[in-house]
Structure 1
Amino acid sequence: MARFATLRALLMGSAALCLAPCAPMTAFAQEMIALDEISVNSDRAVQTDTATPVTVIDAEEIEGRQASTIAELLDSVPGVNLVNGTTPGGSAINIRGFGAMSGTYGSDQSVQIIVDGASTGAEELYRIGTQLYTDPALYKRAEVIRGSVGTFEYGSGAIGGMVLFDTKDASDFTNGQNGVAARQYLGYSSAGDGFVTSTTLAWQPDEMLELLFNYTWRTQDDYDDGNGDEVGNTASTLPSYLAKAKLHFGQDREHSVTLSYSDTQSSDKDVPYNQFSDAGWFGNVDRDIHSKTGVLAYKYDSLSNDLINVDVIVSQAQQTIDQQSATGSSSALLNADHDYKTTKVTVKNTMEFDTGAAQHRLRAGVEFINKDRQDASSAPGGDDRRKAIFLVDDVTFGGFTFSPALRFEDQHIDGTDYGYGSYDNDALMGGASLRYAFDNGLSVFGSYAYTEGLPILDDLSTAAYMSQSQKAETWELGMAFAGHDVFAAGDDLALKLNAYHTDVSDITAYSGVSDVEVQGIEIEGSYAASSGYFADLNASFANGYNRTAGASSDYWSQQPADQLRLGVGRVFQDSLRVKWEGVWNLKMDRAATPTDASFVQNVSMVYTPQGGVLDGLETTLAIENLTDQYYTPHLATRAAPGRTLKVSLAKTF
């Protein structure tokens, strides 16, 4: 209990500091320290200005990577690993050893997915993936937070981390100018003869209104591995669309209302029930999947008062999985229909003010969350209702940035309609980070976070778990550097190293496991020279241990293999970009089932003519797994694709 008392004292003291009387706003404006932004012209900017272990994938990288699934889009982030990333249904995301439950479940609730503020994409459905049935083409930004630090503003129990997605806006295509814009994207992948077409229409009739519609259709057959053998149960067809409208109003457009709706469907006939494999242990099913996410958001950003910046987000994410045995079997598992819906209301205000020499950016808010799920085989039904309050502040003084966070969550979970019990739980969680930036571009930082994963609907059939939350403590230390003219005139360098240690106790997601310890190092780096040469480095090295008394193995079964990813390339006259990438997956012998090392090479070329009749055309050519290596990534249940040619054409009108 001592650690909880320490946590409460730290967080309450931080809250008192945040809410101290404010000095005049003019003092805040005068005393803010303006730092030059370090922008490295490589594939990805390293986030050196924060203690949070966060990686941002922007629209340019999303287009260039030509990912076929959302999971595949994230696999280049250090600490992020995939279980079968090439299929939308059978893929699962693992961050720092948590999230994907190998070939059993697509999620352990420790990695959370947020789309435009809506919580989606994670139920513990037996032998079914993350259920993040959506298309990368719908999004302009993905932010990956590793670990719990930085997640308390958005949710609880994110032991592995969190992924925040932003869908596209019309102004991304009209550049904020009145008129109509259109973009057509066509792509081909030799893996399973995959094809994708994505059409976007954007209209901005005036400066107050913007409208967008996107339709994407993606399909592929079963792909071949590096030995030339067909990998079964990897075919998919995924039509998706996004409709979005944004209205600005009020003086200087201080107010805005945004309405968005995204819809993705998938239909598979006579396929193995097990989405992680083509093994026919359970039998075949006809499965129809429908994923819908709607968001209504209101924003008021006062231009005259820095204490008022209000966000109100009402969202609902619903996934339905209708399936029946393809052979007429009466198996409850094969004929189970799943229907789960998460409705959430978030009200948040951001205040900027100063208290003496300290400048604050304080976010305070409340959330109301209701998850409703029908009863099905392997998935108990019921309601999970939660109320939460959060307080997060970034306090800057001198070269220091202190960021305390507090979240309190109250839960009522009820399965009485389906013969289960009713339970009440609550938790106080949070943490803080401290960063110091030197004048030479070097910074050092450390953080502590404590989070709890409250009981979930999946455990209603086990009464002992319904009053036991999963608890995790994470300590992190790191350093970063960002600078210009480091090795030569006009070059840019950004590096970030983060070491972490996580202890997880009272585990309910894994049978026979109660305590786990994970520790590791993550490295991100980018370099760009004025001549156009650039390099990117991403690496993760980690160990995971099962600390459960009497455990048959000391190894943590969900720990991914160590990985190092290096890319080098050059930009020619801002129109031609070529790149080679090497991915080293190190031998994983710290596991009950070891995995051999692998070295995969990828090459790509992006051509974007500047001016002339081809202005606005973008051509991408890539070859993944250049040497046609046969390998199965650690934790994956099927072999990776062999040599794959990818070609795409995109034109903005």
Structure 2
Amino acid sequence: MTRSILRGSTALVLLSLCPAPALAQDTGTDLSTVSGFLGTLYLTPGKRDLSLGGAVSTTTIDGEEIEDRQAGTVAELIDSVPGVTLINGSTPQGSGINIRGYGANSTYGNDQKIAILVDGASVGSEELYRIGTQLFTDPLLYRQVEVLRGTMGSFEYGSGIVGGVVKLETKNASDFTGGVPGFRVGQTLEFSSNTAGAVSSTTLAWQPTERAEFLLNYTWRQQDDQVDGDGNVIGNSGFETPSGLFKGKFTFGQDDDHSLTFSYSRTLADDKDVPYDTFDTTGGTFGNVDRETDTSQTTLEYNYNPVSDLVDLTATLSYADQQIDYSYVPGSSPLEGTPTWPFLEPTVNAEQRYETTKFTVKNVALFQTGVVDHQLRSGVEVSRRVRADNEAGSAPGGEDNRLALFLIDEMRAGGFTITPALRYEKSKVESAASYGSYENDALMGGLAVAYDFGNGLSVFGSAAYTEGLPIIDDLGGSAANEWRMTTSEKSHTFELGASYAGTDLFTPGDNFSIRGNIYRTELWDITSYTASGSTSVNLDRVETEGFELEASYGLENGVYVDFHGATGQGTEYADGFADEDWRNQPATTLGLTLGKRWNDTLDLSWEVRHTADARDATLNDLSDYTVHNLRATYKPQTGAFEGTEIRFGIENAFDLDYTGNLSSRKAPGRTFKVSLTKLF
């Protein structure tokens, strides 16, 4: 099905990438843009700003959209990004992020083929059995979320990345003070009907001078077990997660060319008598546990940006720490007392802790060679991941030490932009038990080419190759473990696409932008997946392909339309087994948002999202489903309520009973949400 879709879509894709200079010259309209290595971020009239003009498929969700979406989890913030699939995304526990068919799956929260960064710290990457992504953090801590899809944009952030990168940036004090010295207090209260959900987020922002700023945030979020569209309770869907953030920044030196930023965030969860298996709704085979989760990220960043174009130096030291302690609830497992129990018991009675320390130094240099303008990004990264040893067979202990070098050169000449990228990575994994020590290395990279026609239209293509080096989770005493620890997973991805942006197209003052791309990925030397029906035969290769599209159109009177869509399919191959559909392939999704703004005062929108060709976690076909969401944002501009923001939302407005693609439990039914934000 998708092959025909891709063939039919190529013509559409080749009608669409765009440069800001051309728009300014051709239309005479001052469009707001933010340029960077990944392209130009166009501030559209709709909910979603589009990144155009670069070869990396990028979607940015800003602070305004974060608040408007009233998401309960970080995963729910990005569920409208093309190619992104949420697995049980309405709770922190058991949720996962899947991009283009890679990332979270029905067994682990991450297969190492996507990366998640919080202020540069690597989080949520452990393969803990049936535990989810471990992305325990609150969406209200963040000012921006950026999703880079595919491999081409990943070489600055890691190796073996096939699905993409999720980058989260915490809020700054200046977001509240407006960059003006002073003290501000922000308070958000939110309530939801499904079921007894409540949020309180308090922010203290102090800017004593223009060169110093401090932020302190405490967010408390709680909900009881939700109900689905048929009114049935969704087991294991309640949670309580207090979160905190402290962030400070100093700017100093001649011409303010030095800055030092410190960020610390932490989220706790203390769950009593809940299923060990966070993907499931009942205790099942594993039974119930008391589970405490303590996760934190700490980042210290130094930036030196003098007048020279050759120096924009950033040094970042990050530390991510997560501890998950389980205590089995006696009598909750049907296997207790059977011959299987001695094998299972250490898994449900365990103390698991893993820490990732990373130091990255990178520089951005601007220079010319003849007629070619260069933006050269180069850097070195040293990391150390430690997992405490424990008796749980699904989580071996050890250390993973790595050294990486990366080089990305964006070269512009005439209408062409050519970007070669390289990353070299070397690793040494040592077991905390008796599984030995292993060293591996790999050279990977890609090439992106874009051409700007000078009239708002551009086309691009890229080819990228990456390798996923063995990890602590691959340690063990079997021959299969030995093979995994000496073999890197390999993949290549090819993309082709285009985008367009312009104004005054159909009526004076309108604004239109569109970006589309097709991709094809092949993964081989697979160590992370076995053939369907086997626990010992690894897949030989996986082939996936898909099409993604984002568009936005707005009129001068405030009416806007946002659209996003994606489709994909894949096939997995294993010697001696029949070819199967790729078990984690994304469904076909279409999203349409119709809205209208009345200046900065009122924003009303209706979001429709349709999903087809979906399957649940056990790969059973699901019926197509269409979900409707309504949102309203009211911001009084004068009077006693100036500085107040009132938001009202209805999610799953028609109370549809459905299960999301690749999910193991029902989605929540109709949910009313109301929030009040005040800046004092």
Q: Distance in 1 between matches of 2:152 and 2:190?
A: 37
Q: Are 1:465 and 2:491 counterparts?
A: no
Name the residue aligned to 2:350. 336
Within the candidate set 417, 424, 427, 2:442 is matched to: 427
Give the CA deviation at 1:49: 2.0
Task: Give the deviation of 1:589 after TM superposition.
Answer: 7.1
Q: Which residue of 2 aligns with 1:579?
A: 605
So what's the TM-score if we normalise by structure 1? 0.93
The CA distance in 2 between the partners of 1:196 and 1:78, in whole Å, is 28
How far residue 548 of structure 1 moved from its aligned partner, in angstroms, is 2.5
- Contact (CA 8 Å) 1:32, 1:359: kept in 2 or not? no
C-alpha separation between the residues in 2 aligned to 1:554 and 1:323?
36
Tell me the residue number matched to 2:235.
232
SS at match of 2:654: coil
The aligned counterpart of 1:447 is 462
Residue 213 of structure 1: CA displacement? Answer: 0.4
Matched, 1:91 2:95: yes
Q: How far did 1:121 drift?
A: 1.1
Q: Over residues 146-165 of structure 1, what are the superposed CA-to-partner deviations in whole Å (9 max), with x where a residue is unaligned?
A: 11011101111111111011
What secondary structure, in the 3-state scheme, does the structure 2 residue paired with 1:47 have?
strand
Match for 1:57 among 61, 71, 86?
Answer: 61
1:529: Cα distance to partner?
A: 0.5
* Range 588-597 or range 190-199, more displaced: 588-597
Q: Which residue of 2 aligns with 1:268?
A: 271
- Paired letter, 1:605: A
- Counterparts of 1:410 and 1:87, CA distance in 2: 36
Amino acid at match of 1:458: D
Q: Aligned partners of 1:332, 1:477: CA distance in 2, in Å?
A: 49
1:508 aligns with 2:527: yes
SS of 1:172's equivalent in the other structure is helix
| Cα shift at 1:34 | 8.4
Question: Equivalent of 1:607, from 623, 627, 634?
Answer: 634
Check if 1:354 corresponds to 2:381.
no
Which residue does 2:10 correspond to in 1? none
Which residue, 69, 76, 79 being the options, matches 1:72?
76
User: Partners in 1 of 2:560 and 2:189 — Cα distance?
Assistant: 28
Q: Spell out, residue by residue over 1:572-609, the C-alpha distance to the aligned partner (whole angstroms, 9 max, x if none).
A: 23311111111101133799521110011111111111
Superposed, which structure 2 residues align to 1:222-371 within 5 Å? 222-279=225-282, 280-303=284-307, 305-327=308-330, 331-371=345-385
The CA deviation at 1:402 is 1.0
**Cross-structure match for 1:532:** 558
Q: Distance in 2 between matches of 1:289 and 1:135?
A: 14
Instruction: Write out per-residue CA displacement over residues 60-95 of structure 1, whole angstroms, 9 at most, x where no aligned residue.
Output: 101110110011111010000110000101100000
3-state DSSP of counterpart to 2:580: coil
CA distance in 1, matches of 2:403, 2:23: 37
In 2: Cα distance, 1:354 partner to 1:628 partner: 59
Give 1:514 deviation, angstroms.
2.7
Structure 2 letter corresponding to 1:617:
T
C-alpha distance after superposition, 1:486-508 (max 9, x if no partner): 11111110100110000000111
For the 8 Å contact 2:619–2:662, the answer to whether it is kept is no
> Residues of 1 paired with 2:194 and 2:572: CA distance?
37
Q: For residue 228 of structure 2, give the secondary structure of its aligned residue in structure 1.
A: coil
CA distance in 1, matches of 2:288, 2:530: 27
1:369-417, CA deviations, whole angstroms, 9 ceiling, x for partnerless residues? 10000123110110000000000111111111111110000011110x3
Shift in Å, 1:198? 0.4
CA-based RMSD of the aligned residues comes to: 1.6
Say which SS state the counterpart of residue 639 (structure 2) adopts. coil
Shift of 1:46: 1.2
CA contact (8 A) 1:269 1:326 kept: no
Q: Is the 8 A contact 2:551 2:562 kept in 1?
A: yes
TM-superposed deviation, 1:32? 13
Partner SS for 1:332: helix
Assess if the C-alpha contact under 8 Å between 2:448 and 2:460 holds in 1.
yes
**Per-residue displacement from partner, 1:124-171 (whole Å, max 9, x unpaired)?**
100101011101011101110111011101111111111011111111
What residue number does 1:24 align with?
Answer: none
Partner of 1:125: 128
Q: TM-score, normalised by structure 2?
A: 0.89
Q: Which whole-Å CA distance do the structure 2 matches of 1:148 and 1:343 have between them?
A: 23
* Match in the other structure for 1:383: 399
The partner residue of 2:422 within 402, 406, 423 is 406
**Percent same amino acid among aligned pairs?**
49
Shift of 1:115: 1.0
Q: Distance in 1 between matches of 2:577 and 2:354?
A: 34
Structure 1 distance, partners of 2:636, 2:579, is 57
Instruction: State whether structure 2 residue 649 is matched by structure 1 residue 634.
Output: no
CA gap 1:582/1:472 in 2 versus in 1, 3 angstroms: same
> Is the Cα–Cα contact under 8 Å of residues 309 and 365 in structure 2 kept in the other structure?
yes
* 2:551–2:564 Cα contact (<8 Å) kept: yes
Give the Cα separation in 2 of the matches to 1:553 and 1:32: 48
Measured in 2, the distance between the counterparts of 1:645 and 1:381 equals: 44
Note if contact 2:22-2:454 (Cα within 8 Å) is conserved in structure 1.
Answer: no
Q: Residues 589 and 288 from structure 1, CA distance in 2 versus in 1: closer, same or farther, beyond 3 angstroms?
A: closer
Residue type of the alignment partner of 1:219: Q
CA distance in 2, matches of 1:235, 1:632: 18
How far apart are the structure 2 equivalents of 1:589 and 1:64?
A: 29
Distance 1:33 1:231 in 2: 50
Amino acid at match of 1:355: T
Aligned length: 620
Match of 1:208 among 208, 211, 215: 211
What is the distance in 2 between the residues matched to 1:456 and 1:193?
41
Question: Residue 295 of structure 1 contacts residue 316 of structure 1 at CA under 8 Å; is this kept in 2?
Answer: yes
Q: Provide the rounded CA distance (Å) in 2 between the counterparts of 1:32 and 1:78.
A: 27
1:439 CA drift (Å):
1.7
5+ residue gaps, structure 1, are 1-30
Query: Aligned residue for 1:17?
Result: none
Tell me whether 1:48 sits opposite 2:63 in the alignment: no
Q: Distance in 2 between matches of 1:606 and 1:34?
A: 31
Equivalent AA in structure 2 for residue 610 of structure 1: Q
Q: Residue by residue, what CA displacement relative to the aligned partner does 1:14-65 show, whole Å, maximum 9, x if unpaired?
A: xxxxxxxxxxxxxxxxx99988644321101111121110100001101110
Per the alignment, residue 12 of structure 2 pairs with none
Q: CA deviation at 1:238?
A: 0.4
Residues of 1 paired with 2:619 and 2:90: CA distance? 25
**Can you give the 5+ residue segments of structure 2 that lack an aligned partner in the other structure?**
1-20, 26-30, 34-41, 337-341, 532-538
Amino acid of the structure 1 residue aligned with 2:304: Y
Deviations 1:444-484 (A, max 9, x none): 00000101110011110111100111111000000100111
Note if contact 1:233-1:271 (Cα within 8 Å) is conserved in structure 2.
Answer: yes
